[in-house]
Structure 1
Amino acid sequence: MTERRSTGLLLALATAVISGFAVFLNGYGVKAVGDATLYTTAKNGVSLVVLLALAATIGAAAGRRGRLPLTRPTSAAQWWGLAAVGVLGGAVAFVLFFEGLARASSTNSAFLHKTLLIWVALLAVPILGERLGVWHLLAIVLLVVGQVGLAGGVSALVGTGQALVLGATLLWAVEVVLAKRLLADLSSWTVALARMGLGSVVLILWSVARGELGAVLSWSASQWGWVLLTGAILAGYVSTWFAALARAQAVDVTAILVVGAVITAVLATAVQGVPLAPQTGWLLLVLAGGALMWAPARQRTREVAV
């Protein structure tokens, strides 16, 4: 395993932990605010501000070494790619996800979000030329089976809310492939800020068109607290996610992301009193699937295209 890939997987693991907390907390946040789209707009705006502050800090430090965290797109294709990432991944998918989260449980939403692995694998092989080996295939099986078990079976995934979350996940799969292409030439900070920046602009314009943006002025301190908390968490998710995607295969980092479901399940037990014992076997399958992504480098010689 190369040092670059190892770093990418560690960053993906950090993203998974953040995701586990985010999915659980967002279930409370979206219900506290009431309007899922407006909640998403405000939360993403907070995330953008945090990302800009982080980029400015890192840029100032890197500037003394002659390196900046941002790279300027040099072709029309890169500009269009960033626009697609911002609109699809940073706006439309978020609206679908949080509208769905307002109607479905956080556990089911977490599962559907983690099916991202399947859709990314289906796209990454033919489009990005990524290769899946024996360890990938075994890991995917373990992760999917474990997730189905945690969700309580496939029948628990039927409903309007679940359909919206699945739609968001499909859009995010497309975004992952686009972002991976862009990250070959652009820094992760460039892609992250384009996603959240353009996405926030689109969400604000949509809220203005709906005549609902002014409602944020009447939010309580508690509602703003949820927005600030989840917005800061989202900034951490986005920054580590694109950094991981820049260093390792899209399939690899997406597989590690599934481990976030374990965090969500543990939080549901600790806060909501959901029994953990019946889920232990499924959780172990998820952890085993994630662990397989750290298969020894020598196993890479057995990789085959699928």
Structure 2
Amino acid sequence: MTGSRGRGIALAFATALISGVSVFVNSYGVRAVRDATVYTTAKNLVAAVVLVLLLVGTSTSRPVLRLPRRSWLGLLAIAVIGGSVPFVLFFSGLARESSVHAAFVQKTLVVWVAVLAVPLLGERPGVLHYAAIGLLLVGQAALGGGLSGFRFGGGEWMILAATLLWAVEVILVKRMVGGIPPDVLAVARMGLGVVLLVGWVSVSGHWAALTALTTEGWRWALLTGILLGGYVATWYRALALAPAVDVTAVLVVAAVVTATLDAVVNGTAVTPQTVLGITLLAAGAGLVMGARSRRTTALAR
């Protein structure tokens, strides 16, 4: 692996670890708060504060106000399709479904990113990439017990819609990250995104629930918000260093973390199928590390 790609893949593995923990913890948090919109807004507010503090602590905060109008429009788009609408969809769906099923639908992100990255980013995944994607998805399905009981109901459709929006976000971030530091993009995603969420809460009848959020609710929001801040920071930095398909493929490994937590905390049995799933995911991750994405077109910034 080249130096920058290697660092990007390493950051992607860190993102996968955070994601696996976050999906599991969020499945409890969203049920504790009950109102998915309020829960999402509270934890995203925490994440925005974390990312603002990170940005202020770096030199990348200085040129933000000098960005051209086109870049500001891009930041607003990231806030809409990455930091607000899909969160409401995802956590509304998560409140209805198991964390394992939610993890599977969300981790199909790599498929949609691969579909979009070829025409829009000029990335050319090789045979190893497609083999890796297949292994990762089959491995995750195995971890879900063969997705026993899985069906496309209202919750799954919400999570899929959120995943498709996040796939578009990955493409947009990848196009912008060459000209704007990833920490600035991360703050735009969560900072502007939470402003939109607060606006939605205020006009959709959830404001009273947000202001009356209990101490327990804020504890969940604090925990998951910190995880989300770490997720976005490492994710965007990984995208700045490595191809979008490579980084997104590694994220699927988060399913191992979620399944492991399910087994340890909930006593879910470790079956031969579970071992098979972990083995396939490890093989898929290994293929991603050894693969190469060719980039054949120059991107307009």
Give the TM interval when normalised to the shorter protein. Answer: over 0.9
**Aligned match of 1:2:** 2
259, 265, 288: which one pairs with 1:293?
A: 288
1:76-155 matches, within 5 Å, as 76-153=69-146
CA, structure 1 residues 106+70, in 2 after alignment: closer, same or farther (shift >3 Å)?
farther
249, 253, 258: which one pairs with 2:252?
A: 258
Task: Identify unmatched segments of 5+ residues in structure 2.
Answer: 297-301
TM-score (norm 2): 0.93
**Aligned match of 2:261:** 267
* Superposed CA offset, 1:49-87 (max 9, x none): 11111222234xxxxxxxx35643643332222111101
Q: C-alpha distance in 2, partners of 1:70/1:128?
A: 28
CA shift, 1:3, in A, is: 0.5
Q: C-alpha distance in 1, partners of 2:169/2:62?
A: 19
1:246 partner SS: helix
Q: C-alpha distance in 2, partners of 1:70/1:143?
A: 40
Contact 1:108 1:157 in 2 (8 A): no
CA, structure 1 residues 304+33, in 2 after alignment: closer, same or farther (shift >3 Å)?
closer
CA, structure 1 residues 250+304, in 2 after alignment: closer, same or farther (shift >3 Å)?
closer
Q: C-alpha distance in 2, partners of 1:123/1:70?
A: 32
**Aligned positions, number:** 293
CA, structure 1 residues 147+209, in 2 after alignment: closer, same or farther (shift >3 Å)?
same
1:240-259 matches, within 5 Å, as 240-259=234-253
**Aligned match of 2:213:** 219
Q: C-alpha distance in 1, partners of 2:212/2:77?
A: 33
CA, structure 1 residues 270+184, in 2 after alignment: closer, same or farther (shift >3 Å)?
same
Contact 1:52 1:193 in 2 (8 A): yes
Contact 2:143 2:256 in 1 (8 A): no
Task: Identify unmatched segments of 5+ residues in structure 1.
Answer: 60-67
* Superposed CA offset, 1:254-295 (max 9, x none): 000000000000000001111122311012101210121111
Q: C-alpha distance in 2, partners of 1:304/1:28?
A: 41
Task: Indicate yes or no: 2:271 matched with 1:279.
Answer: no
